[in-house]
Structure 1
Amino acid sequence: MPRPTPSSALERLRVLDLSRVRAGPTCARVFADFGADVIKVESPPGLDPNENMSGPRHGYDMQNLHRNKRSLTLNLKTPEGKAILLRLIESADLLIENFRPDVKDRLGLDFETLHKLNPRLILVSVSGFGQSGPYRTRAGFDQIAQGMGGMMSVTGLQGQGPVRAGIAVADSAAGLYGAIGALVAVTERETSGKGQWVQTSLLEAQIAMMDFQAARFLVEGTVPPQAGNDHPYSTPMGVYATRNGHINIGVGAEGHWRSFCKAIGHPELGENPVYDNMEKRFARRPELRVLIESILSQRDSADWLAAFETHAVPAGPIYAVDEMFDDPQVQHLGIAQPVTHPVLGDIRVVAEPVSLSRTPASVATPTPEAGEHNAEILAELGYDQADITRLKGLGAI
């Protein structure tokens, strides 16, 4: 497999990634995929009892999160390891971390200290609950944020109790919000010449992802209930049974409703005064569902999807993950990107979901082995082979 060309979009930036698990690495991955020199700073193997929180090194999660990065192992509990990190910070553009705030302070990696060392440095802190406040020292995990951030209360079938989302919504969102904030800070630095502290948290990110459901309460005072596979206020919009499975239908406007009725062979429903606006249909949603599914049960999902496409009715299949990657549109978009790993061989990972016309993201290199780039990075800092040998003997790298 030919080796892809790295992106050039952010190649002028050096990013130190001191984060782990998912939120922080997601933030750093954005910079790595767009060509920044991202150095994954991690503990030497066997030193950190929690080093496998993202699974094995050659597992799918690590391979998807840490591609395009270089790895430097440092024992920050040794003065020599800490000194190497401080030398890196002097010339870095960004440092991404997701320590608990008290741990960061204890390590001397607080913003005030780092800003004195490198006034242009942008510190990106991704925490569970924020850098201040009564919960600042709590360890944060995605499912806890989903629960506290309201998502589990609106997910699942009505009355079944709270349900977590099937993906790490809070973790991934916090990483992406951190990347957005960091890119804003990089842009602002072009004017001021100064770095700043970018902060986000799993809790804030999850609440932000609630979006219209959160605004529904803030603006109207309504506490959103669970709605299962139905849209909270539009109908028919949700999952509907056919003769051989289920499909998603999205009737979001009156024009869609009339087109939908024509597509299912009952244009008279579109003019029926009982169902002729969204409010009436929503009030009668249970009976309307029975009526619609009695019609849909007469044909297979593929037949209905073809009919809906002909009538410009928003609709789609419901895929398992393998079916998702087999879809021709997904394949056209190229979101499953190939990369060659020295141990795993040719694998695929999930690409950045945004395209740039001149400087697109690229998956150029696989996740490195721990410390794979120690000699290379230390040489860039001026250490010679004798120094590297000595540092290994001291347990600093």
Structure 2
Amino acid sequence: MARSSASVPDDSSTAAANSSLRLARGVTATWYYTIAALLVFEIGIVFTTTLAAWASVSRPPAASVAITVGGLLWVGSTVALMVDYRHRTDAAPLVRWRRQLIPLLVTLAYAVTAGTVSGMWIVGALPLLQSLMLLNWQSGVRLRVMLAATVVLVGLAVIDIRTADGEATTSFGPLISFSVILPAMTVASLWWWDVLVRLDRARASESRLAATQERLRVATDVHDLQGHHLQVIALQLELAERLMTKDPDAALDQLRAARGSVAEAQQGTRDLALRFRSVPLSDEIANAVDLLRAAGTSAEATVDAGADRAPASVLGPVIRETTTNVLRHGGGKWAHLSLKRAGESWRYEIVNDGAADQKVSDDGSGLEGVARRAAEAGGTLEVRRGKQEFAVVVTVPAGVPGEEER
């Protein structure tokens, strides 16, 4: 048995659109996870700083309030820097002053205020260094900046510990730990985002390249096929024209030959179109799995190794129709597809978490179409309705008329 892989169905523009939308949402969701993690960490540092300032008896309670309010404003300014980073390009400058000047000024104001009222060097330096991490550094430079920032923070933490009040020393541990880790965490998160963006761009470029190569291949095949036949027909018609006055019977033979060449060209075009329209059944199953997953369904498939020898003209439309029915009327939680050889027949089954009373299609034509295709091929349709699942089973003979075992 072979587990299916996933790719977008070539014959379904809706499937392609859903899959692209799913990928775009995945990238966007990853970005939200990235900035959410950084923001939670920054907020934690702000409140840890507030606790450290509150623990010092030499500082008034207003200092803690100023650190908290200013810290939240600083966190908001980093959101603007992160959003700007999301749309960055390698050719962009280090600082976009029109977009980033206000967030940087807010950071500077908070750094001076927090460092002054708290009396801690690390509190004043951390906001500046963190905003510095979010600028558009070139490849390789950001890592060196992060290492330098970490060394600076460690040095300032040592100074603060030596000069701190005894009562506040116990609260320095979490603050120093979070502060020293933040630059490395920021760089790692941004690096992961950059990798994801590059992979997404590579995927899109690969898809466009594959489509371009396929169009070129189709154009080459059509040119070779039609070019040959058209050249032969042109020569036959030219010869018939020359023989028309000298030997009418020979000219008529050439016209008949030209008509035969036209028929060959038509048949060749139909064969070519059929070859491009036909998709191996293993790919059909994989496409169905990918489409279901794109819709949020947990889909799996089991396919026999020789499934591509099954009658694709019958089972291909059946797979697409039943997959559409699951998308329209299934519960949306799970689905399983299988294509197996059963003696002298091929057995296709799709099971999903549909209710017993679910409708297969709005007009009832879904199962009717599947049943008609199966009957025309000498096969059968079986429908099972349970309390927790809905199954469609189609069995067709291996030797369907018009289908040759490949």
TM-score w.r.t. length of structure 1: 0.27
Structure number with bigger Rg: 2
Report which of the two has the higher share of helix.
2
TM-score by length of 2: 0.27
**Which fold has the larger relative contact order, with Cα–Cα distance below 8 Å and residues 6 or more apart in sequence?**
1
